[in-house]
Structure 1
Amino acid sequence: MKYVITLFFLFISLSSLYSCSNNSKHRNDFTSIQNQGELISIKRFDQDLYRYLQVPSFQQQDSLAKSYGKFLEAFGTVTINNNDVSGTSYFSDLKGYFSNPMLSQIYKDALDTFRVVLPYEKELSVADELIQKYFAGKQLPRLGMHVSGFKANTIVLADFISISIDRYLGADYSGYKDFFEDYQRQQMKPQMISRDYLKAWILTEMPTSNKRKDLLSEIINEGKTLYALQLLLPDWNEADLIGYTPEQLEWSKNKEKEIWKATIDQNYLFSTDYMTILKYLEDAPYTATISTDSPGRLGAWIGWQIVKAYAANTSASLDSIIKESDMQNILKQSKYNP
């Protein structure tokens, strides 16, 4: 089994997304997902593990291993750097990790915040119906929740996507202030969970390549993700989809021409320089290549505009847009020229 650890949702090589992949696309570790039209049910690993941590037993260890299979390996890698679930130290390491008083309180706060998850299940069920419409019968895998101690936002397996709910306790949550900047906390709200489940799934549908990517490729990949989210969450406003404030979104719209011109004039569009790409796509207080007055991730926003223009000009389906690997063709056919 191959493990890939990434940082989250900027572009694939930079996301706080933990991905565990193998050659199988079948759902081996979990019972088959809901039938069409049935409400999605989020698997509460967070609650199951918490019950074990309160009253540990070998019986509960066996139950967790049976219920969560390969997810336990991925979870152990993320949290305790130990994926040997059958080993003698795995569960004792978990108990030690979560015995930290601060983390113990965060865990309790997360459970309290997400006592009820029906609103997310309903929203994701609607999105899943749209996925089946736009992606030729595909659907979301099983979905779960866990607490990681502010580590990977999302753990992704071929058959399971789990969100770390301790990273969605609200922008004003007191436990965040020593660990996260204001611009990071802006998106650490409960309502962002549905968006981030879908982001994780969309990334699994993106074509992969070992070829070194340039800025154009990366911003269009981000644009594809945002365009897909726009169709799968049609009631969401654009600011929340990208994680901007209304003021940041307005700034981006007003400065669109200048952003594009600066990118072209500085010969950044086809740059493969890692730091240049990072500046355009990282979650940051501003986009350093453009202006200290700008929001971060302007590359993602520009990519979104390009993909929207491409979709409008070509009438291409969402599935075909996601699969299109010729980024220069997307730019050319978009006729993007703000």
Structure 2
Amino acid sequence: MRRLIYIILASATVALTACKSNPLKVDVSDIDVDVQVERFDRDFFACSDGDAYSQTLKLAEKYPFFFDMYNMHIISCGTYSDKSYYECLKVFFSDYSVVEAYNAVNKEFADCSDIQETLVDGFRHLVYYYPETEVPRVVTFVAGFNQSVVLMDGYVGIGLEKYLGDNCPLYDMLQIPDYAKHEMQRKRIPVDVMTEIFHDLHPYEPATDNLVNRMIYNGMSMYFVEAMFPDMPETDRLTYTGEEIGYCHHFERDMWTALIENEYLFTTDLFTIKKFTENAPFTAPFGQECPARVANWTGLQIVKAYVENNKVSFTELMQETDYQKILNMSEYNPR
């Protein structure tokens, strides 16, 4: 019964939100962006067959800069001019988890047109808000489960083995917990790409690193993603179920009161901050029924209140680095 109530609350919230005009729904139809999902993973694994040396030369020409960065910083084999490089490649291509990951990626991502279409929409919105921004090349790779999305000079790299779906047997083999697997789905890729771009455009540089500053910064990140994908379902943007969103709305006032009364808001204790803002089975201080990362969700509500109550534009919001000012001027007071 309680689960049903939360789902109904989430549905009611969506309906009420739909009645309001969404300032983030802008016309980007006349903005052209060239976004192609380039399969570097396939090109790179072709080096495991035949003449690896000639293949690497072709890759260096086709993916300038990214190929070197991938070799040095993602798979840690150095540069292809190093004597030890090709021995490192042999070890990499013979690693069981890497081989299985690549096979699974080939099966799950035989077609990436849906991802490309969503990214095109996201980059159109990015250019709308940041007209001077250069749209990066989008490349995919496999690296042995150590990277999700990376930004490099002129590139966005996507580690596809981190998005094989929560039923992927490899994740069980690697003993990845269920709560983490929930975020390892292909629909998460565009969200993670834009989240990394937000972090690159607007690094977190607070005067004091406390919980409320993290909450609001993370809330700004979530608002940024919503601006890039205004038509994306909230469940996909937040990686919450409808039930979890309903819970957040139902207990919004209680959570805010608890954050204040227990003096959590201004804590600088990193362990406590992580309990409220990082992925986990649940938000431990609020009990096992409370979804993970609820402080970030609360931060998003503060950001939205700040925007609405002060008629702040998206650009003005993103230029603001005084998170305490956002809190004070938001007049956030859930009822």
* TM-score in same-fold range (> 0.5): yes
Q: 2 CA distance for matches of 1:205 and 1:318?
A: 14
SS in 2 for 1:177: helix
Task: Name the counterpart of 1:46.
Answer: 41
The structure that is helix-richer by fraction is: 2
One-letter code of the match for 2:41?
D
Task: Name the counterpart of 1:253.
Answer: 249
Q: 2 CA distance for matches of 1:78 and 1:158?
A: 13
The Cα shift of 1:44 comes to 1.5
Displacement over 6 Å in runs of 4+? none
The Cα shift of 1:147 comes to 0.7
Q: 2 CA distance for matches of 1:143 and 1:287?
A: 34
Relative to 1, partners in 2 of residues 1:249 and 1:127: Cα closer, same or farther, differing over 3 Å? same
The Cα shift of 1:77 comes to 4.3
The Cα shift of 1:79 comes to 4.1
The Cα shift of 1:226 comes to 0.7
Of residues 212, 215, 218 in structure 1, which corresponds to 2:211? 215
Q: 1 CA distance for matches of 2:112 and 2:142?
A: 15
1:99 aligned onto 2:94:
yes
Relative to 1, partners in 2 of residues 1:64 and 1:292: Cα closer, same or farther, differing over 3 Å? same
Question: Which is worse superposed, 133-142 or 43-52?
Answer: 133-142
**What stretches of structure 2 of length at least 5 have no aligned partner?**
1-29
Matches within 5 A, 1:139-218: 139-179=134-174, 180-209=176-205, 211-218=207-214
Task: Name the counterpart of 2:52.
Answer: 57
Contact kept in structure 2, 1:309 and 1:334, CA below 8 Å: yes
**What stretches of structure 1 of length at least 5 have no aligned partner?**
1-34
SS in 2 for 1:155: strand
What is the TM-score of this pair, normalised by structure 2?
A: 0.85
| Percent of residue pairs bearing the same amino acid type | 28
Contact kept in structure 2, 1:224 and 1:304, CA below 8 Å: yes
Contact kept in structure 2, 1:168 and 1:193, CA below 8 Å: yes
SS in 2 for 1:289: helix
Relative to 1, partners in 2 of residues 1:256 and 1:47: Cα closer, same or farther, differing over 3 Å? same
Relative to 1, partners in 2 of residues 1:307 and 1:97: Cα closer, same or farther, differing over 3 Å? same
SS in 1 for 2:83: coil
Superimposed CA distance per residue, residues 279-337 of structure 1 (whole angstroms, 9 cap, x where no aligned partner): 11111001112222111111111111111111111222222212211001101111111
Relative to 1, partners in 2 of residues 1:104 and 1:245: Cα closer, same or farther, differing over 3 Å? same
Larger radius of gyration between Structure 1 and Structure 2: 2
Task: Name the counterpart of 1:238.
Answer: 234
What is the TM-score of this pair, normalised by structure 1?
A: 0.84
Question: Which is worse superposed, 161-170 or 86-95?
Answer: 86-95
The count of corresponding residues between Structure 1 and Structure 2 is: 304
The Cα shift of 1:211 comes to 4.7
The Cα shift of 1:101 comes to 2.5
1:134 aligned onto 2:132:
no
Q: 2 CA distance for matches of 1:86 and 1:304?
A: 48
Contact kept in structure 2, 1:171 and 1:186, CA below 8 Å: yes
Q: 2 CA distance for matches of 1:209 and 1:197?
A: 21
SS in 1 for 2:173: coil
Contact kept in structure 2, 1:80 and 1:93, CA below 8 Å: no
Of residues 299, 310, 315 in structure 2, which corresponds to 1:314? 310
Contact kept in structure 1, 2:98 and 2:143, CA below 8 Å: no
SS in 2 for 1:161: strand
Q: 2 CA distance for matches of 1:40 and 1:215?
A: 37
The Cα shift of 1:208 comes to 4.5
1:125 aligned onto 2:113:
no
Superimposed CA distance per residue, residues 149-181 of structure 1 (whole angstroms, 9 cap, x where no aligned partner): 111111211321111000111111111113311
Q: 1 CA distance for matches of 2:222 and 2:330?
A: 16
Q: 2 CA distance for matches of 1:77 and 1:61?
A: 14
SS in 2 for 1:110: helix
One-letter code of the match for 1:64?
L
One-letter code of the match for 2:228?
L
Q: 2 CA distance for matches of 1:135 and 1:256?
A: 33
